[in-house]
Structure 1
Amino acid sequence: MRKIKCIVVDDEPLAIQLLENYVMKVPFLELVFSSENPIEALEYIQKNETDLIFLDIQMPELSGINFMKIVGDKLKYILTTAYSEYALEGYEHNVIDYLLKPISFGRFEKSAWKAQERFPSGEASANSYFFVKSSGLQHKINFDEILYVESIKDYVSIKTENQEYIVLETLKSLESQLPENFARVHKSFILNLEKIEKIDVKNVFLNSGKEIPIGETYKSEFFLKIRK
Structure 2
Amino acid sequence: MISCITIDDEPLALKQLGSYIDKIPYLTLLKSFSSAVKALEFLQENEVDLMFVDINMPDLSGMEFVKSLTNPSKVIFTTAYREYAVEGFQVDAADYLVKPISFAAFSKAIEKTKQRYFSQNEQLVNIKHDDKFLFIKSEYKIVRIDLNNIKYIEGMRDYIRIHQVHEKPIMALLNMGKIMEHLPSGSFMRIHRSFIVNLDKIQTVERNRITFDKDVYIPISDQYKDDFQKFLDDNFLK
Q: TM-score, normalised by structure 2?
A: 0.50
* Count of residues in Structure 1 that have an aligned counterpart in Structure 2: 123
Structure 2 equivalent of residue 121 of structure 1: 121
1:75 and 1:94 in contact (8 A); partners too: no
Structure 1 equivalent of residue 32 of structure 2: 34
Write the distance in 2 (CA, Å) between the matches of 1:61 and 1:25: 31
Listed as ranges, the matches of 1:94-105 within 5 Å are 94-105=92-103
Structure 1 equivalent of residue 85 of structure 2: 87
Task: Describe the superposition over 1:25-74 as per-residue Cα deviations: whole angstroms up to 9, x where unpaired.
Answer: 00111100101011110111110120110000000111011001111443
Unaligned runs of 5+ in 1: 125-228
1:73 and 1:93 in contact (8 A); partners too: no
SS at 1:91 equivalent: helix
**Structure 1 ranges of 4+ moved more than 6 A:** none
2:4 and 2:27 in contact (8 A); partners too: yes
Unaligned runs of 5+ in 2: 125-238
Write the distance in 1 (CA, Å) between the matches of 2:111 and 2:5: 16
Structure 2 equivalent of residue 60 of structure 1: 58
Change beyond 3 A, Cα 1:72–1:113: farther
Identify the match of residue 22 of structure 1 among 20, 23, 39: 20
Listed as ranges, the matches of 1:1-228 within 5 Å are 3-117=1-115, 118-119=117-118, 120-123=120-123
The CA deviation at 1:18 is: 0.3
Write the distance in 2 (CA, Å) between the matches of 1:68 and 1:79: 10
1:12 and 1:36 in contact (8 A); partners too: yes
Write the distance in 2 (CA, Å) between the matches of 1:48 and 1:94: 21
SS at 2:90 equivalent: coil
Q: CA RMSD in A?
A: 1.6
Write the distance in 1 (CA, Å) between the matches of 2:2 and 2:80: 25
Q: TM-score, normalised by structure 1?
A: 0.52
